[in-house]
Amino acid sequence: MSTLPPCPKCHSEFTYEDSGQYICPECAHEWPVQAAADADEEKRIYRDSAGNVLQDGDTVTVIKDLKLKGSGGVLKMGTKVRNIRLVDSDHDIDCKIDGFGAMSLKSEFVRKV
């Protein structure tokens, strides 16, 4: 089983890599390796603590008390967070929480409502 992506033009599975390019021997189509890596990143799936798929605009609930850096406050378990935005970072979720303002959360500490 090959770990290389299939040809985007003819869908052949016999692609190979040469000098930073993927090449299809069946249709002679060539495309850069970086473009294939970018396409894989676009397909990233974000999941909550229960394994549910998260999407932009979802509402989630915090599953445990989280200490906030900087302010010294605590985000309590059960706090609802509406209209989340998913980002590619170590903290997957950007959001605004009433009383706390803008913040970033990790998807492992929330559950989809």
Nearest to 61 by CA among 85, 87, 90, 97: 97
Instruction: Using DSSP, state whether 44 is helix, strand or coil.
Output: coil
Identify any residues that bridge with 102 across adjacent strands, giving them in sequence order.
Answer: 96
Residue 92 near residue 106, CB atoms below 8 Å? yes
Scanning the chain, the segments in alpha helix (DSSP H) are 33-42
pLDDT recorded at residue 1: 46
- pLDDT single digits (tens) 27-59: 989 988 876 555 555 568 899 999 999 999 999
pLDDT on residue 35: 61
Helix (H) or strand (E) holding 31: strand 30-32
CA distance 105 to 91: 5
pLDDT tens-digit profile of 63-79? Answer: 999 998 877 789 999 99
**% of the chain at pLDDT higher than 70:** 90
pLDDT at 19: 84
pLDDT at position 60 is 96
